[in-house]
Amino acid sequence: MSEDAISKIIEFTNRILRKSGLDLKATAEKVEDFYRIELRGSDINILLGHNAELLEALEYMATRLLARDGAEEIQIVFDSNNYRARREKELRLMAEKAAERVRTTRIPFTFDPMSPSERRIVHLALAEDSSVKTESQGGGENRKVVVYPA
């Protein structure tokens, strides 16, 4: 079933991309325990603009499609030009800088709103640091991570 579900996701994604007029194409590869949906084409800048909102939206729709069809637990991650790895590295660095600032000033630091996956990266980056604690605040698209002195 998982190969059929992934084929359906690729077909669905490519149909959306074609109808949008974007020069992008989706392919899939199995990586350990998840499927990586790679998007390539000349419109990568549009896909990754505004904190990769379009990439996130495509991943969200694909995840909803899998859930609607009752597919077994298949984890998918949409990516393009290694965006996810670069963004994770950037978020970890930002988390460390925020923690350093909070340790020095003893004043909480609030990040701009982030997606759930990005908030998780920040929380995990600081989980072992006993000098600070993190908490998510707000709701919906305005949910943020706040770093507090411990």
- The amino acid sitting at 106 is R
Q: What is the pLDDT of residue 2?
A: 77
Domains, the chain, in order of start with CATH, read 2-81 (3.30.300.20), 85-149 (3.30.1370.50)
Give the pLDDT confidence of 92-133 residue by residue, as tens digits: 999 999 999 999 999 999 999 998 889 999 999 999 999 999
CA geometry: angle at 110 spanning 106 and 113, to 5°?
170
Q: What is the pLDDT of residue 74?
A: 80
Q: What is the pLDDT of residue 87?
A: 95
Mean pLDDT of all residues belonging to the chain = 93
Spatial contact of 121 and 112, defined as CB atoms under 8 Å apart: no
Sheet holding 76-79, edge to edge: 25-31, 34-40, 76-79
Q: pLDDT band for 72, please (50, 70, 90 cuts).
A: low
User: Which of 25, 10, 129, 108 is CA-nearest to residue 62?
Assistant: 10
Q: What is the pLDDT of residue 141?
A: 86
71 versus 67: the higher-pLDDT residue is 67
Q: Long-range contact list for 6-13, CB < 8 A, 24+ apart?
A: 6/35, 6/74, 6/76, 8/65, 8/69, 9/35, 9/37, 9/62, 9/65, 9/66, 9/76, 10/37, 12/61, 12/62, 12/65, 13/37, 13/39, 13/58, 13/62
Whether the per-residue pLDDT at 53 is higher than 70: the answer is: yes
Q: What is the pTM (predicted TM-score) of this model?
A: 0.81
